[in-house]
Structures are given as structure tokens and as C-alpha cells.
């Protein structure tokens, strides 16, 4: 059993988001990774797909726009979203307040992806580095 207290975990900055890793995929038989994510106003992740991981979101605070396929939905506190592997998805915070959600993936090493993405800091200079990381983890950005 693993217990991670509310303020514990591995905190990191991944592009606009503040991610706190609560469970590494290497500590789970099914390669589950769990994290809290804080998205500042105007922040988010553009639509993309994962080749391996299925991903779930549970909104804790605030509201954000979630795109799944061609559909855009407003996700509010206590809403849950599940995205199977291969389905295009992304999110953005259009509000004036930060949003927080719990996210977890099963089947891959998304936690390792996030750790590597902390090295992407300067755009557009770091675009080649980011492209290599995305490719390594089977993540494809959508047009």
C-alpha cells in the first residue's frame, strides 16, 4: 500500500502546468501514474493522442474546457473524464483563476514523460527537444 500526504509528491513545472506526481508508473503493476495538476489562467495542453496510455481526469477546483475528439466540454468540480488510448484530447483554462484536477494514466510511463518535459523551457528554441520527447513516449500532437 502507498499513502502520499496532501502536500507530498514530486512537484514539477511542465510547460504552463504545475504537476505533482503522487505515484510513479514503476511502482504499479499496471503502470499507473497519478498526479495532481494545476493549470493557470490561459494555460492548457493542445489536442494530442497517446499511443499507449489511457488517461482519466477528476476535476477538483475551477472549470476548464476539455476537448475530446471534435467535442468541447466544460469540466467542473467533481466531473470525471476518461480518455482511451489513441483518442485526441486536450484542455485549456479560459477562466481567471487556476484550476486543479487529479489525473492518472494506466499502461505507460507518462510520469517519465513529464519529468523529461521539465527540460522544455524556452520556445521556440526547445521545439526539437520537445518533438523528440513526444516521439519517445508515443504522443502525437493534433493539427
Q: Which CATH class is domain 10-141?
A: mainly beta
87-128 pLDDT, tens digit per residue, is 999 999 999 999 999 999 999 999 999 999 999 999 899 999
**Count of helices and strands (H, E) across the chain:** 2, 11
Residue 71 binned pLDDT confidence (cut-offs 50, 70, 90)? very high
**Residues contacting residue 111 through CB under 8 Å, at least 6 positions apart:** 21, 23, 24, 25, 33, 35
Rounding to the nearest 10 degrees, give the CA dihedral for residues 37, 138, 111, 97. -10
The grid cell for 61 is 477546483
Say whether pLDDT at 131 is over 90: yes
The residue ranges of every structural domain in the chain are 10-141
Nearest-10 crossing angle of helices 127-136, 110-117: 170
Identify the three-state secondary structure at position 133: helix
Say whether pLDDT at 7 is over 90: no
Can you tell me the mean pLDDT for 126-138? 96
- Taking residue 126's Cβ as centre, other Cβ atoms within 10 Å add up to 14
- Taking residue 113's Cβ as centre, other Cβ atoms within 10 Å add up to 21
- The whole-chain average pLDDT of the chain stands at 96
pLDDT at 1: 87
pLDDT at 128: 95
- Taking residue 55's Cβ as centre, other Cβ atoms within 10 Å add up to 20
Backbone CA torsion sign across 85, 32, 82, 55 = negative
Say whether pLDDT at 2 is over 90: no
User: pTM of this prediction?
Assistant: 0.93
Amino acid at each position: 500500500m502507498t499513502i502520499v500526504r496532501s502536500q507530498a509528491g514530486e512537484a514539477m513545472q511542465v510547460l504552463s502546468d504545475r504537476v505533482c506526481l503522487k505515484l510513479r508508473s514503476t511502482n504499479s503493476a499496471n503502470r499507473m501514474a497519478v498526479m495532481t495538476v494545476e493549470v493557470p489562467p490561459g494555460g492548457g495542453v493542445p489536442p494530442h493522442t497517446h499511443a499507449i496510455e489511457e488517461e482519466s481526469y477528476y476535476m477538483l477546483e475551477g472549470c476548464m474546457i476539455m476537448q475530446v475528439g471534435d467535442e468541447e466540454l466544460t469540466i467542473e468540480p467533481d466531473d470525471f473524464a476518461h480518455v482511451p488510448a489513441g483518442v485526441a484530447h486536450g484542455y485549456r483554462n479560459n477562466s481567471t483563476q487556476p484550476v486543479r484536477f487529479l489525473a492518472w494514466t494506466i499502461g505507460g510511463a507518462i510520469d517519465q514523460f513529464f519529468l523529461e518535459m521539465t527540460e522544455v523551457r524556452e520556445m521556440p528554441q526547445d521545439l526539437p527537444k520537445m518533438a523528440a520527447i513526444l516521439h519517445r513516449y508515443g504522443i502525437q500532437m493534433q493539427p
